[in-house]
Amino acid sequence: MTVVVPSAVDFAAVSDLADAGESDAALRRFLHGLPGVDQVGADARAATLATRSIKKQAKLQAIDMAIAMTDLTTLEGMDTPGKVRTLCAKARRPDPADPSVPPVAAVCVYGDLVPAAAEALRGSPVRIAAVATAFPSGRASLRVKLEDTREAVAAGATEIDMVIDRGAFLAGRYGQVFDEIRAVKDACGPAHLKVILETGELATYDNVRRASWLALAAGADFIKTSTGKVAPSATLPVALVMLEAVRDVAELTGQYRGVKVAGGVRTTKDAIRYLVLAHEVAGAEWLRADRFRIGASSLLNDLLMQRAKQATGRYWGPDYVTIE
Amino acid sequence: MTETTTPDLVTPTWDYAPAPEARDIVRLSSSYGLFIDGAFVDTLDGGALKTVNPATEEVLAEVAEAGAKDIDRAVAAARRAFTEVWGPMPGRERAKYLYRIARLIQERAREFAVLESLDNGKPIRESRDVDVPLAAAHFFHHAGWADKLAHAGYGPDPRPLGVAAQVIPWNFPLLMAAWKIAPALATGNTVVLKPAETTPLSALLLAEVVQQAELPPGVVNIVTGAGETGAALVGHPDVDKVAFTGSTEVGKAIQRQIAGTRKKLTLELGGKAANVVFDDAPIDQAVEGIVNGIFFNQGHVCCAGSRLLVQESVETEVLERLKARLATLRLGDPLDKNTDIGAINSAQQLAKITELAASGEQEGAQRWSPESCVLPERGYWFAPTVFTGVAQSHRIAREEIFGPVLSVLSFRTPQEALDKANNTPFGLSAGVWTEKGSRILWMAQRLRAGVVWANTFNRFDPTSPFGGYKESGFGREGGRQGLAAYLDLEVDA
Amino acid sequence: MSERLQVRRTAKLFVGGAFPRSESGRSYEVTAADGGFLANAALASRKDARDAVVAARKAFPGWSGATAYNRGQILYRVAELLEGRAAQFIDEVAAAEGVDLDHATAQVDAAIDRWVWYAGWSDKIAMVAGSANPVAGPYFNFSVPEPTGVVAVLAPQGSSLLGMVSVVAPAIVSGNTAVVVACEARPLPAVSLGEVLATSDVPAGVVNVLTGRTAELAPILAGHMDVNAIDLCGAPAEQVPELERLAAENVKRVVRPPREGEPDWTAEPSPRRMLALTETKTVWHPQGV
């Protein structure tokens, strides 16, 4: 699998040095040479974009986009095949009464439940994403993490959501983080790879920018904000920084990588704010399921209720949407 | 998966539907009188002016144009109120009136915001999120000073000046009224304020608030009118203090007009601020700062960052990102909540901007505006414009345009940036973008400007003194330092 | 024994640290209060005024860029020199103003003490006039007083030393540089002050002293586009309106003459004269990670 590089000269050089074992220093020079992010300025821009008033037809369009971009997720210790089956049914047909509602983009489950998902989604366009690499902590040997990945792919996962080693990142061992991502990408085979940065643990927007570029250089198809297991998870300013990264990579290489926001996106209002961000920071080219995802569970019901409200003018209640 | 183009893999177009703020919260009268001595009265010897919605050219209302006799009675009312009521009133009582006004502005915030956007042309998002909240905050902050003047560093019993004549511009009509009235009243003065000819309505609504607050009659008087009214007010012999915000040209005329009198004067005039971007700036936020610096309020800001001074090594990158960002700006109906750029305030201002922009092309600079910017047919509009290849000697680098036009110049070293930034008769504000702390402070210390925004731009606060160096005026508004404008601080020994 | 002939003084201008004659070649007679001849003083011209402004502007970056502590030390040393020359000043004041030696001594003492008072202000203005402002957002915001630039000063016409000190020291302590028009009829103490400054550590051009006709020089300075502020203390009353009009051309900061005429310079001074010649600069910076 070719490593896709943002800029022919910079990244090729960085990749080579990564191989030569001088990766940390070389990667640091590159990553720390990226422009800094002023936290207050980024917060202010995200807050201004959050004031966009999306109504009527624009809102209906946004709701359908959001549904089609949802990775319907269950990642609990008490997950069972039964739970996964009902989730998948919802994923393929979110509203039993309304076939015009699009299916979601994917379901997202733990690797050992992929077979159940594959069975339940047979014949449907809904993708199967599996978290892997000792999700959510990432604290296991590389051998274990790769095996985790390979098993999920073999069982039918078409997408892998991996976690980076945040300890290594914060300790400056960028080469190790880079190598692990590349190894997991290799283990993915045909599956696409989302790299979870766990931005809540990275703490600064400068780190989010650096981790984004690192992951993209190492071959990530998507960069993803969070596992959803650590607070804070996705926030608008963090998503803004990540969208800038994929925007810049597209500018340099012509390749469109994706952004997934996960954790804490609960309402239609939240989802629309992320769509506005994607639209105005990166561009309309990211308003599609192969370039933008929202990892969520309860969000879908709120989207459905808002969709119905737009169509009928009434507010709906929880009895009118299904729980899984 | 084997699907080819599923619907969710096609790049869509997402148009935001119109999201207009409801206009009906504003109850416009067809005509307005002058607010003198606590009541709305007809003009004695003046005329009438129409005020227009610059986004549609629709006439909003007729307002009075105060004549000389009107000025006489307004000043007389202010004098009587000063001598008999406001002057003797203890500070803690004055404070409570100002708190009431602050609260009323907050309570009627939406009404003020809509009215301001209708009369001025600025986007509702700005009037709602910036102008109106800051106006309330100014009253709030100054209310607290009224009974603490003994601790403000001006001696144990600083005295007010008396009657203040205040003339304000059209770019932030309500906010400028707040900046004038709040400190004047807090320090014990009474005022006669003339709003700008093209934006009288929010000041007249403020007069209603003043009535609701039961402020004693004559403490605040609002006299609408144009240049003649302003000159008559400034020249009135029974005025103790003149405060003016507006163009440098008119500021100088006022300074000449009051020469030889003992009237105190503070001026807040024009600017041609440099926004300096170094090669290590946080580029995305710097681009936001550039955009905000010159396109916030359609560039109708005295402290606008109208000259981008970018380090040559990052000039191409910054310009590319800037242009990409400008293409996402939404220009249109000021009452639409999604509008970023509103209307130019008047046909006259539009003509000025157009002429100066044309001069930029004539002098050899390269002009660019985003293609996505479509100007509505009716109303006064100007597309955000960037000039590159600008030299210090070009008119567009020297003269204040007061519109959404950015001139881009480059520099190589910090000293060169500093020299170019300071090489202007103006000195109101400046911006600096760099990640290096020591350089921020080095630049901030050496920039000859009254306000330096480092890694940010266009931030205002009632506690933050605002005003210029050199031909951008003298005196400050806001904070402890701003009180000096309204206190008797004659220099004797 | 025959009387010893006095070596007469030529009172020249003090510009850029040197003592040039007026470029016009003119001079005028300075007489004592009793009419006796004291000296010929240079009669400064518009070109001298222009040169003085150039010298003051040149000296501004260095003087305003010095630390406040440094300026304070330099000004304090001037007081040391004044003290050393007190006897000369006492004689000059007595002759110029026609007062007895006790009065003259009181004036000179007051002048030195006032100079000391101002010297001590150098590193305190920022504390008194500056502030950290509690803005309603994640920003650090502070205001500092800064010198306004080149200040023209029309020294008072009555008090030839104490009055001079009272308008010059407050102008320069914050870092301004000054072009001073000395008291017209009684310029010699001002000239001697120039000599003191020349032998002190005050850099060349920080204070420039022009002797001559106030009414002739004032409009030049009031209208000069490279003068940032003007103190009209010693201006002829009927000329004040014209001077204020001229000052408007570049929006000069104008310090008006005191309301009740020349004040009692021995009264407790206030910082206002000093602060009137400063600008407030406010700086914002975001606070974030």
Closest chain C residue to the Cα of B155, Cα to Cα: C270
Apex B290 CA angle, B288 and B295, nearest 5: 95
Residues of B in contact with A279 (CB under 8 A): 14
The residues that bridge with B39 in the sheet, in sequence order, are B36
Backbone φ, ψ for residue A32 (5° rounding):
-75, -10
CB contact under 8 A, A41 and C286: yes
| C286 → chain A, closest CA residue | A40
pLDDT digits (tens, 9 = 90+) for B138-169: 999 999 999 999 999 999 999 999 999 999 99
What is chain B's mean pLDDT, rounded? 96
Q: Which residue has the higher pLDDT, A4 or A303?
A: A303
Q: Measured between CB atoms, which of A55, A127, A279 is closest to B1?
A: A127
The interface pTM score, or ipTM, of the predicted complex is 0.94
A260 flagged as catalytic = yes
Sign of the dihedral defined by the CA atoms of residues B365, B366, B367, B369, in that order: negative
Q: For the segment B451-492, what is each residue's pLDDT rounded down to a tens digit?
A: 999 999 999 999 999 999 999 999 999 999 999 999 999 887
| Arch. (CATH architecture) of B274-461 | 3-Layer(aba) Sandwich (3.40)
**Structure tokens belonging to residue A25:** 């220093």
pLDDT 10s digit of each residue in chain C, 289 long? 679 998 888 899 999 999 999 999 999 999 999 999 999 999 999 999 999 999 999 999 999 999 999 999 999 999 999 999 999 999 999 999 999 999 999 999 999 999 999 999 999 999 999 999 999 999 999 999 999 999 999 999 999 999 999 999 999 999 999 999 999 999 999 999 999 999 999 999 999 999 999 999 999 999 999 999 999 999 999 999 999 999 999 999 999 999 888 999 999 898 999 999 999 999 999 999 9
B373 a catalytic residue: no
Is the minimum CB–CB distance between A250 and chain B shorter than 8 Å?
no
**Cβ pair B235, B154 in contact under 8 A:** no
β-pair partners for B52:
B59
Instruction: Summarize pLDDT for A32-55 with one digit per residue, the tens.
Output: 999 999 999 999 999 999 999 999
Give the span between the Cα atoms of A178 and A161, in whole angstroms: 16
Q: Domain A8-312: which CATH class?
A: alpha beta
Instruction: State which amino acid sits at residue A111.
Output: G
Q: Hey, is the C-beta of A42 within 8 angstroms of any chain B C-beta? A: yes
Catalytic residue among B302, B315, B373, B400: B302
Contacts of B450 in chain C (CB under 8 A): 279-282
Residue A231 pLDDT level (bands cut at 50, 70, 90): very high
How far from C249 is each of A88, B248, B251, B257, C55, CA to CA, in Å?
A: 78, 10, 10, 12, 22
Within an 8 Å CB–CB cutoff, is residue A171 touching chain B? no
CB contact under 8 A, C283 and B255: no
DSSP bridge pairs for A131 = A110, A161
Q: With beta carbons under 8 A apart, name residues in chain C contacting B471.
A: 250-251
The pair phi, psi for residue A23, each rounded to 5°, is -60, -45
CB contact under 8 A, B282 and A35: yes
| pLDDT of A11 higher than 70 | no
Q: How many CB atoms lie within 10 A of CB B375?
A: 13
Do residues B429 and B381 touch, judged by C-beta distance below 8 A? no
Judge: A37–B282 Cβ closer than 8 Å, yes or no: yes
Place of tokens 């307002």: B63
| Superfamily of domain B31-269+472-486, CATH level 4 | Aldehyde Dehydrogenase; Chain A, domain 1 (3.40.605.10)
Does B92 have pLDDT greater than 60?
A: yes
């059209």: which residue's tokens? B170
For residue B145, the tally of other CB atoms under 10 A from its CB is 22
Band of pLDDT at residue A13, cut at 50, 70 and 90: low
A39·C139 Cβ contact <8 A:
no
Which phi and psi angles does B58 have, rounded to 5°?
A: -75, 140
Please, which residues bridge with residue B487 across strands? Answer: B160
From B130, which residue of chain A is nearest by alpha-carbon distance?
A48
B446-469 burial, b at 16+ Cβ within 10 Å, e below that, comes to: bbbbbbbbbbbbbbbbbbbbbbbb
Contact A303, A271 (CB under 8 A): yes
The pLDDT of A61-77, averaged and rounded, is: 97
Q: Which residues contact C18 (CB under 8 A, 6 or more apart)?
A: C198, C204
At residue B318, the 3 state secondary structure works out as: helix
Cis preceding linkage at A136, omega within 30: yes
Residues of chain C in contact with residue B451, where contact means CB-CB under 8 angstroms, are: 281-284
Distance from CA of A39 to the nearest CA of C (A): 5
| DSSP output for chain C | -PPPPP---EE--BBTTB-PPPTT--EEEEE-TTS-EEEEEE---HHHHHHHHHHHHHHHHHHHHS-HHHHHHHHHHHHHHHHHTHHHHHHHHHHHHT--HHHHHHHHHHHHHHHHHHHTTTTTHHHHH-EE---SSSEEEEEEEEE-SEEEEE--SS-TTHHHHHHHHHHHTTT-EEEEE--SS--HHHHHHHHHHHTSSSPTTSEEEE-S-HHHHHHHHHH-TT--EEE-TTS-GGGHHHHHHHHGGGT-EEEPPPTTSS--TTSPP-THHHHTTEEEEEEEEE---
Q: Which residue among B260, B452, B456 sits closest to C244, beta carbon to beta carbon?
A: B260
For residue A101, the Cα-to-chain-centroid distance in whole angstroms is: 22
Given A145, A185, A194, A260, the catalytic residue: A260
Which chains sit next to C, with 3 or more Cβ pairs under 8 A? Answer: A, B
CATH domain C10-286 topology? Aldehyde Dehydrogenase; Chain A, domain 1 (3.40.605)
Q: Which two three-digit tokens encode residue C250?
A: 């570049």
Q: Which DSSP category does B20 fall into?
A: B
B partners (3+ CB pairs within 8 A) are A, C
At residue B490, the pLDDT reads 84
Which residue is catalytic, options A185, A224, A248, A270?
A224
Other residues' Cβ atoms within 10 Å of the Cβ of residue B109: 17
Size of interface A-B (CB pairs under 8 A): 91
Residues B124-136: b if buried by 16+ CB within 10 A, e if exposed: bbbbbebbbbbbb
Sign for the pseudo-dihedral over CA of B456, B457, B461, B464: positive
Q: What is the rounded distance in angstroms from the CA atom of residue C139 to the CA atom of residue B458?
A: 12
Q: How confident is the model at residue A7 (pLDDT cuts 50, 70, 90)?
A: very low
First and final CA of chain C: distance in angstroms?
A: 88
* pLDDT of A318: 86
pLDDT digit string (tens) for B243-268? Answer: 999 999 999 999 999 999 999 999 99
Q: Which of B268, B315, B400, B477 is catalytic?
A: B268
What is the rounded distance in angstroms from the CA atom of residue C276 to the CA atom of residue B266? 12
Contacts for B372 with CB less than 8 Å, ≥ 6 apart: B327, B328
Q: What are phi and psi of B91, to 5 degrees?
A: -60, -35
pLDDT for res B372:
87
| Contact map slice: B 243-262 vs C, CB within 8 A | 248, 251-253, 255-256, 258-260, 262
- What pLDDT is recorded for position B7? 65
Dihedral sign, CA of B426, B428, B433, B436? positive
- Strands B366-368 and B385-388, sheet pairing: antiparallel
Hey, which chains touch A, using 3+ CB pairs under 8 Å? B, C
Query: Mean per-residue pLDDT for B62-71?
Result: 98
Residue B147, class by beta-carbon neighbours within 10 Å (0-12 exposed, 13-18 middle, 19+ buried)?
middle
C-alpha to C-alpha distance for B78 and C287, rounded to whole angstroms: 44
pLDDT classification of A1: cutoffs 50, 70, 90: very low
A290 interfacial to chain B (CB closer than 8 Å): yes
Average pLDDT, chain A: 92
**Which of C138, C139, C289 has its CB closest to that of A203?**
C289
Structure tokens at C9: 């003084």
Note the pLDDT of residue B4. Answer: 38
Distance, CA of B384 to CA of A310 (rounded, Å): 35
From residue B124, give the alpha-carbon distance in Å to each of A263, A279, B111, B338, B380.
32, 22, 11, 9, 17
Pinpoint the residues of chain B covered by CATH 3.40.605.10: 31-269+472-486
Residue A323 is predicted with a pLDDT of: 87
Tokens in use for C109? 């003492």
